[in-house]
Chains A and B, each alone.
Chain A
Amino acid sequence: KQEVTQIPAALSVPEGENLVLNCSFTDSAIYNLQWFRQDPGKGLTSLLLIQSSQREQTSGRLNASLDKSSGRSTLYIAASQPGDSATYLCAVGETSGSRLTFGEGTQLTVNP
């Protein structure tokens, strides 16, 4: 059974800092890996999707990397802003069952 772990569970940084969120998964036979953002009381918003054959994806200040062999992904946020404060979830798309397995998320607070 695929297990997805995100460390740290919570992170607080000053505005302007570059930061890295970590995601690890136990089964490297994945189809893709996705990063989502969740604001308090809201649903999830898709940020980035990395295919299993890719190493990274970029969108604006966000860069996600994937190392399938080691079972790890990172989400890099450059020049963080208070508006980036949210919970960030990593989800692994499994090759069998057509389902996403989610991590518990990292709660990010960016202080002005």
Chain B
Amino acid sequence: NAGVTQTPKFQVLKTGQSMTLQCAQDMNHNSMYWYRQDPGMGLRLIYYSASEGTTDKGEVPNGYNVSRLNKREFSLRLESAAPSQTSVYFCASSPQALYGYTFGSGTRLTVV
């Protein structure tokens, strides 16, 4: 099915470990986003890419890096995981900013 694919679906990390969350979309969308969802905090934007070759910080970028590898793929990297990064991470894409968002099913990350 067309849409946004996130891998992995679940991950447990030890404090200080690194990992990359992968996201790919097959809808030829220009814009891609990474959000985290925490109880009582709603969804918060980590980074976004308005178009291929550009990335910008969102509301909570500290501790994360991103790469827009090509038009389809947008990865999120945790260089040194901390317990505060325990969350559910969602990738989303849209044809243009603020319109037509499609979300992936999420990655549930636990940092111990």
**A pairs with B:** yes
Contact between chains at B42 and A105 (CB < 8 Å): yes
Whether the Cβ atoms of A42 and B45 lie closer than 8 Å is no
Binding site for A on B (CB under 8 A): 4, 31, 35, 40-45, 48, 50, 58-59, 90, 92, 97-106
Report the minimal beta-carbon distance from A39 to chain B, rounded to whole angstroms: 10
Q: Tell me if B40 and A104 are in contact (CB < 8 A).
A: yes
Whole-angstrom CA separation of A36 from B92 in the bound complex:
13
B98 engages A46 (CB within 8 Å): no
Closest A-B pairs by Cβ, 8 of them: A43-B103, A98-B97, A93-B98, A102-B43, A104-B42, A44-B103, A102-B42, A43-B105
Q: Does A99 contact B (CB under 8 A)?
A: yes
The chain A residue sitting closest to B88, CB to CB, is A41
The winner among B4, B50, B59, B98 for most chain A CB atoms within 10 A is B98
Listed A/B pairs (29) with beta-carbon separation below 8 Å: A4-B42, A32-B98, A32-B99, A34-B101, A43-B4, A43-B90, A43-B92, A43-B103, A43-B104, A44-B43, A44-B90, A46-B100, A46-B102, A49-B99, A89-B42, A89-B43, A91-B43, A98-B31, A98-B48, A98-B97, A98-B98, A99-B45, A99-B59, A99-B97, A99-B98, A102-B42, A102-B43, A104-B40, A104-B41
Residues on A with C-beta less than 8 A from B58 are 99
Name the residue of chain B whose CB is nearest to the CB of A39: B105
Residues of chain B within 8 A (CB-CB) of A42 are 105-106
| In the complex, chain A residues 40-79 whose Cβ is within 8 Å of any chain B Cβ | 41-46, 49
Decide: A44 and B101 in contact? CB cutoff 8 A: yes
Nearest chain B CB to A64 CB, angstrom units: 15
In the assembled complex, how far is the CB of residue A30 from the closest CB belonging to chain B, in whole angstroms? 10
Bound-state Cα–Cα, A43 to B25, Å: 14
